[in-house]
Amino acid sequence: MFGMGFFELVVVVVVAIIFLGPDKFPQAMLDLARFFRAVKKTLNDAKESLDKEIHIEELKKEALEYQELLKQQAKPLGDLKQELENIPQMPEVQDLQESVKSLAKSNPLESLNAPELEIKQAEKPKVSLEKTPKSPPRCLKI
């Protein structure tokens, strides 16, 4: 520890016992242990926060890379959108639309002579549900 051997540590402990006395030495050792524990906890917290910051920076960098990739992939889609918007203005499409309109006006289906089907009217039912029956229903007596 701190480049000191066992013999040096024994000398420091003996000097501390002589300087502090046997009554204050145990309390001083507890205070020293608490101090080292607090220092260790502070260093661990600093290390964790630094690791989080580094991880956040990595995530930001990765997000920016994905954003750039999406922008590069979106460029061909924008060109495709422009091409799709220009389709109605193409002369071939306009000619096709005009021919469809002229076919719709002439309606070739009307020129076919389809035989007319005779529709028979359904006969009226013999039983009417509008009138009530003349005789009361028969009931079984028990």
Q: How far is it, in rounded angstroms, from Cα 17 to Cα 121?
A: 124
What local confidence, expressed as pLDDT, does residue 42 receive?
95
- Does the predicted model carry a pTM greater than 0.75? no
Please give the chain's pLDDT, 142 residues, in tens.
Answer: 567 788 888 888 888 888 888 888 888 889 989 999 999 999 999 999 888 888 888 888 888 999 998 888 877 777 777 777 777 677 777 778 788 788 777 765 654 544 444 444 555 556 555 666 566 556 555 5
User: How far, in whole angstroms, is CA 50 from its chain's centroid?
Assistant: 29
CB atoms within 10 A of CB 49: 10
Q: How far is it, in rounded angstroms, from Cα 23 to Cα 13?
A: 14
Q: Identity (one letter) of the amino acid at 135?
A: S
What local confidence, expressed as pLDDT, does residue 118 receive?
44
What local confidence, expressed as pLDDT, does residue 77 receive?
72
Contact in structure between 87 and 93 (CB atoms under 8 Å):
yes
Residue 100's closest CA among 108, 111, 110?
108
Q: How far is it, in rounded angstroms, from Cα 91 to Cα 105?
A: 21
What local confidence, expressed as pLDDT, does residue 116 receive?
45
Contacts of 28 (CB under 8 A, 6+ apart): 16, 20
What local confidence, expressed as pLDDT, does residue 35 receive?
93
